[in-house]
Amino acid sequence: MIMTRIERLQNFLEHNPNDEFSSYALALEYKKIKKINEAVDMLKQCINLNSANLAAYFQLCEIYSTQNEIELLNIYLEKAKIIAKDQNDLKTFNELISLEHEAI
C-alpha cells in the first residue's frame, strides 16, 4: 500500500513539480520506509519551493538529529527557529529547542 501512495505522489510531481504539498507528502512517505536520502531531497525541494515551510524544516532537523548529522542539524535548526519566531509558532519553536538539546 505504501508503494501505491509513493507512486501516486511521484505521478503528481511529474505533472506538477512545484506542488509543495505532494513534495512534502512524498518526503514523509520516504521517511516512513527509511529512504532517508530521498526524504531529505524532497524536504529540501519543499524548502526551495517555499523558504518559510516550517514543517519541512522540522522534518529535516528531525532526520539530521536521528542521523547524528550535527553540523547540518545546526544549520537547519537556526533557520527553522527564525521561521518559527516569525510565524509566532511557539510549539514548533519549543520542539526545535528539544531537538537541539537531544543532539548535544
What is the C-alpha separation between 71 and 65, in angstroms, rounded?
A: 10
**pTM recorded for the entire structure:** 0.92
Flag whether pLDDT at 104 surpasses 80.
Answer: no
Going by pLDDT thresholds of 50, 70 and 90, the confidence category of residue 100 is: confident
CA distance 13 to 1: 19
* Average pLDDT of the residues in 60-73: 96
DSSP character for 89? -
Least Cα distance to 55 among 67, 40, 38, 43 occurs for: 43
Q: Render pLDDT for 7-42 as a digit per residue (tens, 0 to 9).
A: 999 999 999 999 999 999 999 999 999 999 999 999
